[in-house]
Amino acid sequence: MLTAYETQVARLLQNPAAPTSLYTTADIDSYINTARGQLAGEAECIRYLGTISTVVGQTTYNFADISTGVSATNGIEGVVNIRQMLYGLGNGKMWVPSRNWEWFLQYHLNNPVPVVGGGPPAAWSQFGQGAAPGTTGSVAGGTFYIDPAPDAVYTLYLDCVCYPIALADDTTVEAIPYLWTDAVPFFAACYALWSSQTNARMADAERYFNTYLKFIQRARSASNAEVLRHQYAQAGDTIRREQAAMVGYCARGELEIGEVLAPVDGGASYLDAVAMGAGKR
């Protein structure tokens, strides 16, 4: 996969071969891996049901300790954030409600006599921000709290958003799924062009960045089935987008406000009709 990325980035940069190459292969590889990590965090396209075992009486846990499988086979380096949590019970699992940190601190940690060994987790909240440390060079990483302090060893099942291992060669597993892989070369080309620090190439970088955004939006839309159009948050609200477009048409004088608000299809206004899926441009 790395060679395919390198080829696409070189084409976007119109990078000639040695000895007149503007960007070294090592630099391009660095840009590719940086782009892959950023994309994984933004698109949340790498998901894994990670696990971690609780410790009796312990309420704080690190992202770095979450098991996300074997990186050499699944291409996952670490966890970026946790979406949901379950704990194992009997032959199944129980869902644990999540809280924002301020709520959790006030209503769970704000206790001079905390219950030690109070049972299985009843709530959880993320505190430390950032991905689990890996090849990023950062020693900081995400953490989460559970309450009450567990009375036994429970297996927590965590719906994790992850980031990928760096690609070293074509044998390295790519964790980013297609169609998001199509967006990687555009973002990598942006980093290369930004490094040039010339007005023309900076402008080219912005155009490629906008193309990158279009590609990740297309990938998200393609991954959402028509019957579950809003399954993933990044998909956006198509109804509001359509309504906003109508407002834009009016602002530019392409439509009269009377046309937009006029009754259509059973007496509803055009904006209402759009919301009901009955609008006709």
List the chain domain ranges.
2-43+176-223, 47-164, 237-275
Least Cα distance to 211 among 236, 238, 193, 229 occurs for: 193
Residue 174 near residue 72 (C-beta atoms within 8 A) = no
Least Cα distance to 139 among 62, 212, 66, 195 occurs for: 62
For residue 5, CA distances in Å to 94, 155, 200, 223 come to 42, 39, 24, 22
Position 158 pLDDT exceeds 60: yes
Least confident of 116-125, 139-148, 197-206, 258-267: 258-267
- Write down the pLDDT at residue 280: 42
Query: How many CB atoms neighbour CB 180 within 10 A?
Result: 22
How far is Cα 122 from Cα 87, in angstroms, rounded to an integer?
Answer: 10
Burial of 218 (0-12, 13-18, 19+ CB in 10 A): middle
Question: 23: which residues sit within 8 A by CB, 6+ positions away?
Answer: 10, 13, 15, 192
pLDDT band at 279; cut points 50, 70, 90: very low
Position 86 pLDDT exceeds 80: yes
Global confidence as pTM: 0.77
For residue 219, CA distances in Å to 174, 179, 216 come to 16, 5, 5
Which residue in this structure is represented by tokens 């030690």?
Answer: 116
The pLDDT tens digits for 41-79 are 999 999 999 999 999 999 999 999 999 999 999 999 999
Q: Give start and end residues of each alpha helix (H) in 63-198.
A: 71-74, 101-104, 184-196
- Write down the pLDDT at residue 118: 81
- Write down the pLDDT at residue 274: 47
How far is Cα 123 from Cα 146, in angstroms, rounded to an integer?
Answer: 6
| 81 token code pair | 């954030």
Handedness of CA 130, 131, 133, 136 (dihedral sign): negative
Least Cα distance to 274 among 32, 252, 249, 7 occurs for: 249
Handedness of CA 224, 221, 39, 99 (dihedral sign): negative
Residues in the chain: 281
Average pLDDT, the chain: 83
Which residue in this structure is represented by tokens 């990483």?
Answer: 141
pLDDT band at 278; cut points 50, 70, 90: very low
The SS3 of residue 26 is: helix
- Write down the pLDDT at residue 259: 54
